[in-house]
Amino acid sequence: MRNFKFQYLNQTFLIVVICSLFSCAPVIQYLGDSYPATTNIDVYYDENDVERDYTTIGRMTNRKAEGYRIERIQESMIETAKEKGGDAIIFLDSSSHSTLPDDISGIPGNIISVTAKVIRYK
């Protein structure tokens, strides 16, 4: 009976860890209007690169992205722009700064901050 409980606890712990790893995505905060979702969007890194007339439908940023690669944040923002009905996303700024050591590990972390705007062509 004791062996069964130990196996059950190990399996439960393993499932929780796997779910945590795969379900974690950067939290994207969006402020703006929503339209029917789009499947493909253009990606820009400078507003001057957009050659078509457009209107801004929203802005977004990520919330405390410690432990995420900037590429993962970018992917999440692109998906959010699609969900909100954008024709394109313009990445405006990114920055990184160190945090104080946390209470558990005592190790300082790095927080990546990315801002972007979602646009629709006229």
Q: What is the pLDDT of residues 11-43, one digit of tens each?
A: 656 555 554 444 467 789 999 999 999 999 999
CATH no. for 26-121: 3.30.110
- Residue 48 DSSP class: G
CA pair distance 108, 103, nearest whole angstrom: 10
What is the pLDDT averaged over residues 40-56? Answer: 97
Evaluate whether 57 touches 91 at the Cβ level (below 8 Å). no
Q: What pTM was estimated for this model as a whole?
A: 0.71
Higher pLDDT, 78 or 100: 78
The pLDDT tens digits of the residues spanning 68-99 come to 678 888 999 999 999 999 999 999 988 776 66
* pLDDT score for 22: 47
Q: Judging by beta carbons within 10 Å of its beta carbon (0-12, 13-18, 19+), is residue 87 exposed, middle or buried? A: buried
Structural domain boundaries of the chain? 26-121
